[in-house]
Amino acid sequence: MVGTIQPNNDVNVLSETQGRVVQMFAKVGDFKSAGSVIATVDDELRQAALIGAQANYDKAVSDWNRYEPLHKEKAMTSLQLDGARLAVKMAESQLIIAKRQLKDTKITTPVSGIVATRFIDAGATVDNKSPIVNIVDISTLKVRMNVAEKDAFSLKAGDKVTITSEVYPGVNFVGNVMSIGAKGDEAHTYPVEISLNNSKEKPLKAGMFARVNFTTIARANSLVIPRSALVGSVKDAHVFVVDGNKKAHLKKVLIGSEAESNLEVLQGLTAGETIVVNGQNNLKDGTEVKVIK
């Protein structure tokens, strides 16, 4: 069966503040560990705000420390003491906000990975939620595909699978089934996700096609068609089927495994149907054809 390789994480790092970017610390292709600073935003005003918030907090705490013994000596009312306690809480709240706003001027990545895209340069002005870079983690990969409903019940999380790629002929990668979808689509297929560790010697990349062999799915009496009959790609496969009136109709099929020039059809065709294997690129749905065997 054919699936698409996806990164373990694919994250757009966003700004959580507003201002002018003064430094960029990421280039496309760089590896960044989680927590690394990607960019810094002008923080002069945030520094000033923090100084003011710290001063207000220190004063509120000092007032509280003076008022509490006075209240015990009946030299201050409970209402005045409550006001001092509230002032401490309000000043503490403003101090927390000021510290967070200053921290947000250093934009960091939440995940480890490679910088795939850089959206801005130093000197640019960013807003809250502006994308800064895109980080992808391909140390671990996912393969996503859909399987027929009869096959979904033959799989369980943890099953080992063999994965191959046309980039590395004859090389087998080992993965594990992570999840089987609980809900099918309109074609009655179910999403399956497979995890595998990326190889340092023969690395795979996100977006590549991969062929997956499920050892727990029986392939007896498989329906096979020649690859030449295919219209479109393996991921979005169609074939022309000739009906009793010698008219060709386009049908969507679900492709499984591939062996040399043959494709396994998991869904969409039944044994005995006549399909077009030559000249189908010139056909339209409903075109009359002459069958030549």
Position of tokens 């001027």? 105
The pLDDT tens digits for 119-151 are 999 999 999 999 999 999 999 999 998 888 878
Q: Is the pLDDT of residue 258 over 80?
A: no
Are 128 and 16 a contacting pair, CB within 8 Å? yes
Identify the band that residue 219 occupies on the pLDDT scale cut at 50, 70 and 90: low
Identify the band that residue 267 occupies on the pLDDT scale cut at 50, 70 and 90: confident
Calculate mean pLDDT across residues 159-177. Answer: 91
3-state helix vs strand vs coil in the chain, percent to 5: 20, 40, 40
Instruction: Supply the range of the domain harboring residue 88.
Output: 44-103
Greater model confidence, 31 or 70? 31
Among 33-42, 199-208, 260-269, where is mean pLDDT lowest? Answer: 260-269
Greater model confidence, 179 or 286? 179
Greater model confidence, 197 or 233? 197
Whether 212 is covered by a domain: the verdict is no
Kindly report the pTM of this predicted structure. Answer: 0.67
Are 141 and 196 a contacting pair, CB within 8 Å? yes
Q: Which CATH number goes with the domain that contains 249?
A: 2.40.420.20
Task: Give pLDDT, residue 279.
Answer: 81
Structure tokens at 217: 């799915």
Domain count, the chain: 3
231 and 289 fall within a common domain:
yes
Whether 278 is covered by a domain: the verdict is yes
Task: Give pLDDT, residue 68.
Answer: 82
| CA–CA dist 72, 229 (Å, integer) | 93
Among 44-48, 68-72, 80-84, 152-156, where is mean pLDDT lowest? Answer: 68-72
Greater model confidence, 54 or 287? 54
Task: Give pLDDT, residue 233.
Answer: 83
14 and 61 fall within a common domain:
no
Identify the band that residue 111 occupies on the pLDDT scale cut at 50, 70 and 90: very high
Whether 235 is covered by a domain: the verdict is yes
Q: Which CATH number goes with the domain that contains 129?
A: 2.40.50.100
Which segment, 18-27, 58-67, 246-255, is predicted with the most confidence on average?
18-27
Nearest to 224 by CA among 259, 252, 265, 253: 265
36 and 118 fall within a common domain:
yes
Average pLDDT, the chain: 89
How many whole angstroms from its chain centre is CA 244? Answer: 46
Calculate mean pLDDT across residues 45-69. Answer: 93
Task: Give pLDDT, residue 28.
Answer: 96
225 and 237 fall within a common domain:
yes
Identify the band that residue 62 occupies on the pLDDT scale cut at 50, 70 and 90: very high
Which segment, 86-90, 251-255, 274-278, is predicted with the most confidence on average?
86-90
Calculate mean pLDDT across residues 228-250. Answer: 86
**Which residues sit opposite 262 in a β-bridge?**
226, 259
The CA–CA distances, whole Å, from 205 to 89, 144, 179 equal 52, 14, 21
| CA–CA dist 52, 73 (Å, integer) | 32
Strands (DSSP E) along 15-130, which ranges?
Answer: 19-24, 31-32, 37-41, 106-108, 113-118, 125-126
Whether 175 is covered by a domain: the verdict is no
Strands (DSSP E) along 19-122, which ranges?
Answer: 19-24, 31-32, 37-41, 106-108, 113-118
CB contact set of 172 (below 8 Å; sequence gap of 6+): 162, 163, 164
Which segment, 57-61, 228-232, 258-262, 287-291, is predicted with the most confidence on average?
57-61
